[in-house]
Each structure stands twice: as C-alpha cells, then as structure tokens.
Amino acid sequence: MSRGMGSTLAAPAQTAHHRDAVGAKLGMWLFLFTELLLFGGLFLLYAVYRTRFPSDFHFAATTLDPLVGTVNTLILLTSSLTMVLAVAALERGRRRAAQAFLAATMALGALFLANKASEWAAKIGHGLFPRSGLLLDRTDGENLFYGLYYGMTGLHALHVLVGLGILAVIWGLLARGPRRGGEAAAERGTERLGSEAAAERGTERLGSEAAAERGIQLENAGLYWHLVDVVWIYLFPLFYLIS
Amino acid sequence: MARTAAPPAPLACSYLHPGGGRGGLLGWVLTTDHKRIALLYLYSILGFVAVGVALGLLMRLELIAPGRTIVGASTYNALFTLHGVIMIFLFIIPGIPAIFGNFILPLQIGARDVAFPRLNLLSWHCYIAGAILAVTALFTGGGPPDTGWTFYAPYSIRTTTNVTLAVFAAFVLGFSSILTGLNFIVTIHRLRARGMGWFRLPLFVWSLYSTAWIQLLATPILAITLLLVMMERLFGLGLFDPARGGDPLLYQHLFWIYSHPAVYIMILPAMGVVSEILPTFARRTIFGYKAIAFSSMAIALFGYLVWGHHMFTSGMSDTSRWIFSLLTFLVAIPSAVKVFNWTATLYKGSIDASPPLLFVFAFVFLFMIGGLTGLMQGALSVNVHVHDTAFVVGHFHYVMFGGAGFGLMAALLYWFPKIFGRLYPRRPVYIALGVLFAGFNLLYFPMLVLGWMGQPRRYYDYLPQFQTGHLISTIGSWVLLVGLLILTVTLMRAARRGPWAPPDPWGGTTLEWRTASPPPVENFAVEPAVTGRPYDYGALGRGAAAPEGR
Amino acid sequence: MEQRPLNGYGTYLLVWSALVVLTAVTVTVAGLHLARWSALAAILVATIKGSLVLLYFMHLRREAAIIKVSLLVALLTWTVTLALTFADVAFR
C-alpha cells in the first residue's frame, strides 16, 4: 500500500460505517444478553432456595398481594405495547405520534414504580424487611424469600428507572425535530472526517440520516424496555402467585 | 506496493501526530481513535502492573524468613488481596484485548476503527474510574480489604475493611470489560474488509472473538455476585448468611461461574498472539488453521463447564465433584490441540529466532508447566492434598504470568514497531528474556515444591523446614524484577529514540503490516481487499518477506 | 431499514391482548393449587408470554440469524450454569 503523505487523510471509502444500523442493533442485543445473565444469577439463587425451602416460600408469599402484582404486570405489558407503537409510528414518519406513545410509556413506567414503592413501603411498615426483628423470628426460608424479593424486584425497579431516563432522553431528541438533529450530526460528521468536502456531502443527506438514527435509537431503547418487561413476566408468578 | 524507503521521516500524519483535531492531553483522554485508546490502556495498565509487582515483591520479602519480617499478619492479608485484585482485574483481564485487541483488531480486519468508537472510549473511562475506586478503597472506610481477590462470603460480608467500595470498583471494571467485548464482537461481524471471510481472519482475531463472548456472557454473573455482596453489606439481604439459611457455597458457585471462564479471558488472547507470531517467524503458514480457530471457541465453551474444580474441598456434593473433575480434563484437549499445531507450524520452517518468537517459546514452555500442574489438580484425590497450598499459587502464576504475561510481552515486542513506528535493539531484549526466564522459574518453581510439601497459601509465616524454598523464591523475585526493568528501559528508550520502522519489519502477512508504521489516523489509505488466507508465505514469495533489522 | 416489512398496529394490539389473556390464565391457574404442577405451569405461561414479547415487540422474528443464535447461546449458557449448580445442591 502507498505510504503517501497527506493523501492518507482523504476519507477512505468506509467512513460512513459509524451509522451502521445493523451493527447498532446487534450491539444492543449483545448488551441485553448481559442483562439476561445479570438477572440469571438471581434466578439461579431463587431456584436453589425455592427447591430447598418450598413450603417456607409458599407461606412467605401469602404476605404479598397478587392483585398488586397483577396490576403491575398489566401496566408493564401495556407500556410495552405503547413502546412498540412509538417505534411503529416513527417508522411511518409520524414523529408526533411517536412522541405521544413514548410519553404514555413513560407514564406507565412511572405508575409501575409508584405501585412498587407503595408496596415496598407497606411491607417495610409491617416490619417485613431484611434483618427486621419480625423476620429474624421467622424461618430461614421466609428470610430468604424476602431477601430475594427485595433483591430481585429492587434490581428490576432500578432497571425501570434507568429505562425511564433513556426514554426521556430519546423523547427530548425527538422533540428537537429532525432538522436541528441533522445539523448536530453534520457537525459531528465534520469533526470526524476533518475535511470540508465530507461536511458538504454530509449536510446533503444528514436530514434523513439523522431521522434514521433517531429510529435506531428509539428501537434500541424499546428493546431495553421490552427486556425489562420480560424479566418482570418471570418475576411476577415466582413471587406473587406461589402462595 | 511502492514502499517509500526513506526511514528518517515518520508519517507526517500518523495517529501519534495527526494534523488538526484536538491536541495535547485532551486529544488523548477524549480520543475515539482505537489506536490512541490502545495506548491509553497500555500506559494505565503498565502503571498498575508496576504497583502489583511492588506488592508482590513486598510479600516475597516478608516470606524471606519465618516469623514476622517486615509486615504483620493483617498487612500481609491486605497485600495479597491488593496484589490479586490489581493483577487480575486491572492487568490480566483487560491486558491483551484492551491494548493489542484495540490497536490491532481493526487493522487486521482492514477496518477504520472499532464498531462503536465512543463506547470504546467509555470503556477506558470505566477502567480508569474502577481503578480510582479500587485505590480509594485502600485509604477510606475500614482500611484496605483483606478477603483475598475472591471476596468469599460470609467473611467478605462481615469484615470491617472497605470491601464495599473495592467490590464496586470490580463491578465498574467489569463494565469496562463487557463494553470492550461487545464492541469487538460487533466489529468482527460488521467491519471486515472486502473479501475477509471468517476463515481468512487472522487467528488473533479468532481468539479475541472467543474472548469477547466470554467477556459478554460471564462478566454479568460476576456483576450480580459483587452487587449481592454490596447489598448484603448495605442492606443485609441474608442470601449468603448461614445464620439466616443462606448458603455461602452459592457465593462460591456464582463467583467461579464467572471467574473460571475469566481464566480463559486471560489466556485465550495470549494464545492468539502466539498463533500470529509463530507463522511470521517460521516463514510458514500456520499448521491447522481451522483447528486452532475452533479450539479457541471450544475453550470458551468448556470454560463454562468446569468452575466447580475451584471448590473441590468446599463441601459440595460428591456427584458434582466427579462431574466437574471429568469436565476439567476435557479443557486439556483444545489446549493441547493448539500446542501441537504450534509445534507442527515450526516443522520445516525457516526460523528467525527474533525476540517475539523467543518470548513465544518461553510462553509455550511455561504454559505447559502451568497446564500440566493444572491437570494434576483436576484429579480429585490430588486436589484435596494440594488445595489452598503454595502449589496452587505456583500453578496459576505459571499459567497467568508465564502464559498471559509472557504472551503480553511477546505481543508488545511483535507489534512494537507498528505501534511506535520504531525498532528496538535485539541484544538487550535477549538478555532481558534470559533474566526473566531464570527469575521466573526461581520464583515460582519452589512454590510448587513447597506447596506439595504442605506450605499453605496466604500465610505470612511458615515452618522452619520451608525456609530454603522460600529464600530461593524471594531471590527469584529480585531476578525477575531485574529482567522486567531491562525490558522496560530498553523499550522506553526505543520508543523515543529507536530507528524508524518500515511498514513490515518482520515480514508479516496480515493486514496490519500493509499500512505505515505508525499507522495513519484512518488506518489505510485505501480499504484493503483480501484475496486469500492469512500466513500465506507460499503465495507471497520469499523475497517480499525479507526480514529487516537483524 | 426501508425495505423491512412494517408490522401493523393491529398485530401489536393482538399480541398485547394475548399477553393480557395469558396473565389472566396464569393468575387463574395459580388459584387452582395444583401443588408442584403450578410452578411448572407458571414458568410455562411466563415463557410463552416472554416469547411473544421477544418475537413481536422486539421483532426477533425478522432479525438476522446471528441475533437469534446468540440469544439461544446466552440462554443455553444460563441453563448450563443452572444444571451444574444443581449437580451440587441437589445431591448435597
């Protein structure tokens, strides 16, 4: 290959690859696998302790209200629906509708967290929390049930919270509209390529490219949101429906 | 293919001195150039290695004579914990992938950068944040952690030392590792140059690919384990607390579900380095390309099935003990496949005994001692005898330092001209290797013997009859230090003042040798097209691959 | 992106209704007290629900093979760790 001076700075053919939609999606899925295994470790503990103390678990679960769990399940399932509708709307170029669906998703996510918080607060109010006097008097299995309950639903709630943050950012990006987003992307492009020609080439197309990038971001955020939903789909019967 | 011969002028626009863009320190710590990030990793990792080595030397000094020599029991506990945490989480796990994977992987597949350059930078920031937290843990709270790098429950939950922060540091470092692995997988899937099919990938790329999958699928288990330790300490969930029905053995299970595959995160990239260096200096195509490529994937797979062999004496069930023992022996098969193929590659090659190749020979020798002592411990009866003795310490230093460590040094020597655009003198490197090799064996072989005789690990004191072995070992640590210093000084001088390197000083055939040394910011002037397998010395012709710098 | 077939809003609503119905099913089944079978039924229904979310909401159906295969690898990895852990805890 030529070792020419200067000429090396000309953008090679593949500079555009940083807007690789398939790659971005693959990356997101890989990240989701790490989330699966993160929760997987807790599910493993659950499996061991539940086989070891089946009756304690059943007894401890009577203190949880299946109604609260069911309502929260329905909330989260519906939020997944609005999430996927937001993606579908943006695919059809309907930005405002996408924003509205996204707002609905966030509202439902917040409702889920509020429910969760009041449930936790009630439990803690009744003295049911790790190392509480009430629990220490109970059996080992009940202590473990509550340890897992707080650990698993707590980590899940944390994920919902993070998801809300991500969705809020995406909502903000959508609200800025495709034009200004395009300009920002063009600026970034200039910085990367370091040449005027590239910037010119950029501004021509980046309006639609930025829109495409929003689409990818929204879809990836959606993937995360749905995964958090899937985790809950398993948590729900394992804690609320075993009494 | 015109190669400008003029050695005095480095490329005016290499990644080290790009025209334009952000200059100075910010141009480094905010860079998204994979080559600069690689150098950031190189310097930060070497900095922590220095700390880890210093801690190791202190331990050896304490053990030079029985009884208290320079530190007391609890300081010694902190020393081996820190030595372990630093060397494992800050050095060997990121080591080759973060430094050479970052630098070489995009070059070897003919890409401009990794798939997510900004994520790559974030990964380094996570590394630095984790490292800062780990250092902070030493001086805050209840003092440096004293649990050993394994953070075994229930002690890690009860000790008053600053385990919470140290564990959080390891969690953040795990994030860095996951992000690197994720980035590499997408890069390898999406950014291969035209014509670069899967079986035209250099073997280093295959090893990084297998490693990346382990990083991705094992590290989350460590993350949740460490999070649980934190939650236990902060909120007292009781999941590992025997007083409330918790099972501490489950902590060990979760910990080793990550930490055994992590052993392959450490060694697989080194094996990839070996597979690169051998064909280059034997001037011969690699023997058994597919076997080596698939054995990397097989090691990654088997790595998940054997974690229980760290727990043979923990009180887990007999059934699981023999299952894990049986599975452990399986790992030897893909490892042996590699060693046999490497040996066969040398057969009838025209061998150039250059520094990287000699480091590779040292790697193979030391790794075999490490691997075979590992097999011994895979047998249940032997394991019960040597468990928690210095034998284990000797074994894993042969694998980790003799394997991954020497692999990293070989990689540094091999790619040094590419990274810095300079050549280093051979003679001091040969001397360094001789000293290192002697020091290494003096340091660690006595551990195997002492452990076999019954010297427990992690004790700051010992019985008088073990003194000769400990004395030899401590002297070995000094010899090793001298070797490391010679190597470091030689390379540091060469990086500043060595003669300019041509694009392909070793006669390598993979793509990274087809661009300038050091490479330009964009890596390649024209996206390279790949027309054949790597290491094809037959097609290249002997003349084109004439080595330089003898 | 452009040439990808779009899922209709109707499909999503249908999937959502199925998820709601399955939630009702799992709550009802849990109320029947089927002893050891109830856990199995709960996991089974949850898996159907999870698969619906993955296939339709997360568009796994139309994803590249690499994503499908690696999802299986991830799940298999977890299953292996579970099985080998139980090789210990079930026989201790």
Are the Cβ atoms of A26 and B190 closer than 8 angstroms?
yes
Q: Is residue A7 part of a domain?
A: no
Q: Which of B245, B525, B528 sits opposite A7 (nearest CB)?
A: B525
Cα B95 to Cα B48: distance, rounded to the nearest angstrom: 11
Tokens 């006097």 locate to A133
Same domain, C46 and C71: no
DSSP-assigned beta bridge partners for residue B422: B500
> Taking CB atoms and an 8 Å cutoff, what residues of chain B touch C66?
189
Shortest Cα–Cα distance, A34 to chain B (Å): 6
**Which of B17, B121, B183, B237 to mutate against chain A (most A CBs within 10 Å)?**
B237
Position C5 scores a pLDDT of 57
CA distance C88 to chain B (A): 5
Which residue of chain A is at minimal alpha-carbon distance from C43? Answer: A234
Residues A217 and A169: their CA atoms lie apart, in Å, by 10
CB atoms B237 and A151 under 8 Å: yes
Residue B543 has phi, psi (to 5 degrees) of -65, -40
- Return phi, psi of residue B145, to 5°: -60, 150
Closest CA to B46 of B484, B486, B494: B484
Domain co-membership, C11 together with C42: yes
Cα(B324)–Cα(B377) distance, integer angstroms: 12
The answer to whether the CB atoms of C71 and A234 lie below 8 A apart is no
Contact flag B237-A147 (C-beta cutoff 8 Å): yes
The amino acid at residue B284 is R
Give the Cα separation of B270 and B265 in Å (integer). 9
How would you classify residue B462: left for phi > 0, otherwise alpha for psi between -120 and 50, otherwise beta? beta
What's the pLDDT score for residue A19? 66
Separation between Cα atoms, residue B531 and residue B546, nearest integer Å: 21
**Pair C48, C15 in one domain:** yes
Is residue A218 in a domain?
Answer: yes
Hey, what are B247's tokens?
């099972």
Residue A176 domain boundaries: 21-240
- How do residues A220-230 score in pLDDT, each as one tens digit? 999 999 999 99
What is residue B537's predicted lDDT score, i.e. its pLDDT? 85
d(CA B67, CA B461): 5
Span B164-211, pLDDT tens digits? 999 999 999 999 999 999 999 999 999 999 999 999 999 999 999 999
Asked whether B94 and B126 are in contact (CB, 8 A), the reply is: no
Domain ranges, residue B350: 24-537
Interface check for A78 against chain C (CB to CB < 8 A): the answer is: yes
Q: Average pLDDT for residues A236-240, to the nearest whole number?
A: 95
Neighbours of A148 (CB within 10 A): 24
- Confidence band for A179, pLDDT divided at 50, 70 and 90: low
Same domain, C71 and C33: no
Residues in chain B: 550
Pick from A22, A74, A88: which is nearest to C64 by CB? A22
ipTM above 0.90, yes or no: yes
Chain B residues within 8 A of C90 when measuring between CB atoms? 317, 319
Q: Does A210 reside within a domain?
A: yes
Phi and psi angles of residue B506, each rounded to the nearest 5 degrees, phi first: -100, -5
Residue A40 lies in a domain: yes
- Residue B93 backbone dihedrals phi, psi, to 5 degrees: -65, -50
Tell whether C9 is within 8 A of chain A (Cβ): yes
What's B514's DSSP letter? G
Whether residue B93 lies inside any domain: the answer is yes
Q: How far apart are CA B501 and CA B10, in angstroms?
A: 9
Residue B154 structure tokens: 């229930």
Q: CB of B388 within 8 A of CB of B345?
A: no
What CATH number corresponds to the domain at position A228?
1.20.120.80
Report the gap between the CA of B320 and the closest CA in chain C (Å): 5
Say if residue B220's pLDDT is above 90: yes
**Nearest CA among B236, B247, B7, B208 for reference residue B99:** B208
- What is the distance between the alpha carbons of residues B237 and B242, in angstroms, rounded to a whole number? 12
Go through chain A and tell me how many residues it has.
243
Q: Please give the average per-residue pLDDT across C74-81, as a whole number.
A: 96
Number of H helices, E strands in chain A: 8, 0
Select from B218, B11, B184, B224 the least CA-distant residue to B98: B184
SS3 B9: coil
Chain B, 241-260: which have a CB under 8 Å from a chain A CB? 244-247, 250, 254, 257
pLDDT value of position A177? 67
Q: Which of residues 29-68 of C touch B (CB under 8 A)?
A: 66
> Could you say which of C73, C81, C88 has the minimum Cβ distance to residue B316?
C88
**What local confidence, expressed as pLDDT, does residue A207 receive?**
62
Q: For residue B503, is the peptide bond before it cis, meaning its omega torsion is within 30 degrees of 0?
A: no
Could you give the number of structural domains in chain B?
1
Q: Of C73, C74, C88, which is closest to B253 when you measure between CB atoms?
A: C88
A2 near B CB under 8 A: yes
Interval B285-307: pLDDT, tens: 999 999 999 999 999 999 999 99
Q: Which amino acid is at B376?
A: M
In 3D space, the residue among B460, B403, B498 whose CA is nearest the CA of residue B77 turns out to be: B460
A190 found inside a domain: yes
Which residues contact residue B420 at a Cβ distance below 8 angstroms, ignoring those fewer than 6 apart? B16, B494, B495, B498, B501, B518
Pairs of CB atoms within 8 A across A/B: 165
Would you call A30 and C89 a contact, using CB atoms and an 8 Å cutoff?
no
Residue A8 lies in a domain: no
Instruction: For residue range A57-103, list pLDDT tens digits in order.
Output: 999 999 999 999 999 999 999 999 999 999 999 988 899 999 999 99
Question: Best of C76, C85, C88, C89 to disrupt the B interface by mutation (most B CBs within 10 Å)?
Answer: C88
Which of B222, B320, B328 to probe by mutation at the C interface, max C CB count within 10 Å?
B320
Q: What is the CATH number of the domain that holds B399?
A: 1.20.210.10
Under the banding of pLDDT at 50, 70 and 90, the label for residue A20 is confident
User: pLDDT category, B222, cuts 50, 70, 90?
Assistant: very high
| DSSP string covering A91-128 | HTT-HHHHHHHHHHHHHHHHHHHHHHHHHHHHHHHTT-
Given CB atoms, is C87 within the 8 Å cutoff of chain B?
A: yes
**A138-154 tens-digit pLDDT:** 999 999 999 999 999 99
Q: Dump the DSSP string for B106-167.
A: HHHTT-SS-S-HHHHHHHHHHHHHHHHHHHHHHHSTTSS--STTTT-TTHHHH--SSHHHHH
Does residue A143 belong to any structural domain of this protein? yes
The pLDDT of residue A122 is above 60? yes
Beta partners for residue B14, in sequence order: B520
Which position has the higher pLDDT, B391 or C2?
B391
B319 vs C87: CB contact, 8 Å cut-off?
yes
Integer CA distances (angstroms), B504 to A243, B419, B535, in order: 70, 12, 14
The two structure tokens encoding residue B179: 């992000």
* Residue count (chain C): 92
Give how many domains chain A has, as a whole number.
Answer: 1
**CB contact residues (below 8 A), chain A span 128-157, against chain B:** 130-131, 136, 139-141, 143-144, 147-148, 150-151, 154-155
Instruction: Work out how many domains chain C is built from and give that number.
Output: 2
Please state, in angstroms and as integers, the Cα–Cα distance from residue B240 to each residue in B158, B244, B389, following that order: 11, 8, 26
Whether A103 is covered by a domain: the verdict is yes
Using an 8 Å CB-CB cutoff, list chain A residues near B240.
none
Question: Measured between alpha carbons, how far is A160 from A152 in angstroms, rounded to an integer?
Answer: 12
Secondary structure (DSSP) of B395-406 = HHHHHIIIIIIH
| Residue B548 domain-assigned (yes or no) | no
What pLDDT does A209 receive?
A: 74
Contact B173, B130 (CB under 8 A): yes
Q: Using 50, 70 and 90 to split pLDDT, how confident is the model at B54?
A: very high
Per-residue pLDDT band for B395 (boundaries 50, 70, 90) equals very high
Chain B contact for C74, CB < 8 A?
yes
Structural domain boundaries, residue C73: 63-92
Give the separation between CA B44 and CA B38, rounded to whole angstroms: 10
Residues C72 and C45 in one domain: no
Band of residue C4 on the pLDDT scale cut at 50, 70, 90: low
Looking at the predicted structure, is the pLDDT value of residue B217 above 80?
Answer: yes
Name all chains with 3 or more CB-CB pairs below 8 Å to chain C: A, B
Give a yes or no: residue B285 inside a domain: yes
| Residue carrying structure tokens 């990083």 | B215
* A97 burial level (CB within 10 Å; 0-12, 13-18, 19+): middle
C50 and C81 fall within a common domain: no
DSSP-H helix ranges across B303-389: 318-346, 355-378, 380-386
Cβ count within 10 A of residue C14: 13
d(CA A148, CA A122): 17
